Amino acid sequence: MEVTGISAPVVSVFISSSLSTFRSKKRYSRSLTIAELKCKLELIVGTPASCMELELYGADDKLYTKLDQEDALLGSYPVDDDCRIHVIDHSGTRLGEYEDVSKVEKFELSKEAYDQKQNTLRSFLKRSKIGPYNEQQREQQEVEAAQRLAEEKAQASAISVGSRCEVHPQGQTPRRGTVMYVGLTDFKPGYWIGIRYDEPLGKNDGSVNGRRYFECQAKYGAFVKPSAVTVGDFPEEDYGLDEM
């Protein structure tokens, strides 16, 4: 008995384009003409149908054939699930041009106009007195921040530049070094202690974001909070990093 295979009326294929590095997966009827297929592809790749050249690749990514007969049915070609239809653009558009969002005109609304709207997140926060619009909460946060700053300043005042120290990073082994800087910084609020470690266990060379706070070798410098520093007669330790 002879058995005849019947192809499914719909095929699932990948779509790629010479204008983009992305691929998408779509389902199309095998009864579509190539001309009709091109019109559908316009919405996906952005190339006018009149400027398209279509290539059919197998699931193994080998070129099967060109889809060059406008009135031919898609199903008349050896197209199957997981094949790829590649769109070659002949409109003169450059690769990646449709992916460059910097060229897209963006909608902008002034702060004054935004404040006048009633259905925005900002208006909801204001009505509900949440977050930055909760005056009592904001004042409490400011008081707590001032208290933390005062505590850090008191702790920092007991630490002098040039002192030997031991640093106790949370969850890490204590490290010894020399205090090189005490005070405020540009990179984060509050008081910070600049340390030159005895061994390259740090993160910088005494500078952060282009501003130099002290001098040391790369990877020997670090900044820690005053609460993590204990000043005392701590001799240098040999970590064995120079042993062969």
87 and 15 share a domain?
yes
Domain that holds residue 174: 164-231
Q: Is residue 1 part of a domain?
A: no
pLDDT 10s digits, 140-149: 888 899 999 9
pLDDT over 60 at 2, yes or no: no
SS3 label, residue 217: coil
Judge whether 141 lies within some domain: yes
Q: What is the 3-state secondary structure (H, E, C) of 147-198?
A: HHHHHHHHHHHCCCCCCEEEECCCCCCCEEEEEEEEEECCCCCCEEEEEEEC
More confident residue, 211 or 104: 211
Average pLDDT, integer, range 32-52:
93
76-118 tens-digit pLDDT: 999 999 999 999 999 887 766 666 666 667 778 788 887 888 8
State pLDDT tens for residues 152-169: 999 999 999 999 999 998
How sure is the predictor about 171, in pLDDT bands with cuts at 50, 70 and 90? confident
Q: Which of 40, 64, 94 is the last residue of a domain?
A: 94
Give the single-character DSSP code of 207.
Answer: E
Residue 238 domain flag: no
Q: How far apart are CA 165 and CA 151, in angstroms?
A: 20
Q: How many folded domains does the chain comprise? A: 3
pTM of the model: 0.47
Helix, coil or strand: residue 20: strand
